[in-house]
Amino acid sequence: DVKVTQSSRYLVKRTGEKVFLECVQDMDHENMFWYRQDPGLGLRLIYFSYDVKMKEKGDIPEGYSVSREKKERFSLILESASTNQTSMYLCASSLNDGRSYEQYFGPGTRLTVT
């Protein structure tokens, strides 16, 4: 089974802090994704990566950056956290084989910025 893990289930940070959310997958997937989930809005794509050191902006990249130094790890960075970034953050991964398109999700990190 594919396993996607996220470093924290719950996180509380103060406004202006730099925040790192870590995601690790163990199935050698090429693609990795970061979403935020808000009530009534579903999942919105923040950033995604098709390969090591490669990143592309999703629909809502403002206020976020990412890092992918190793294939299995994809980090989301909030350079200066703000209260409007309080949300559930979900990481996902998928293969890049032209046949499998389903994404596998981690358990999520609920971030509160005060």
Partner 1 sequence: AQSVTQPDIHITVSEGASLELRCNYSYGATPYLFWYVQSPGQGLQLLLKYFSGDTLVQGIKGFEAEFKRSQSSFNLRKPSVHWSDAAEYFCAVGAWSNDYKLSFGAGTTVTVRA
Residue 23, amino acid: C
Using rule CB under 8 A, residue 102 touches partner 1 = yes
| CA distances in angstroms from 102 to 75, 97, 98, listed in the order given | 21, 11, 11
By CB under 8 A, is residue 90 in contact with partner 1? yes
Note the Cα 73 to chain centre separation in Å.
Answer: 10
40 touches partner 1 (CB under 8 A): yes
Q: Are 106 and 4 in contact (CB under 8 A)?
A: yes
Q: Which region among 12-20, 64-72, 73-81, 95-103 touches partner 1 (by CB under 8 A)?
A: 95-103
Burial annotation 46-56 (CB, 10 A radius, 16+ → b, else e):
bbbbeeeeebe
Among 8, 11, 58, 77, binds partner 1 (CB under 8 A): 58
- Under rule CB under 8 A, which residues in 60-89 are in contact with partner 1? none
* Chosen residue from 45, 57, 60, 77 binding partner 1 by CB under 8 A: 45
Interacting residues with partner 1 (CB under 8 A):
4, 9, 31, 33, 35, 40-45, 48, 50, 58, 90, 92, 94, 96, 101-108
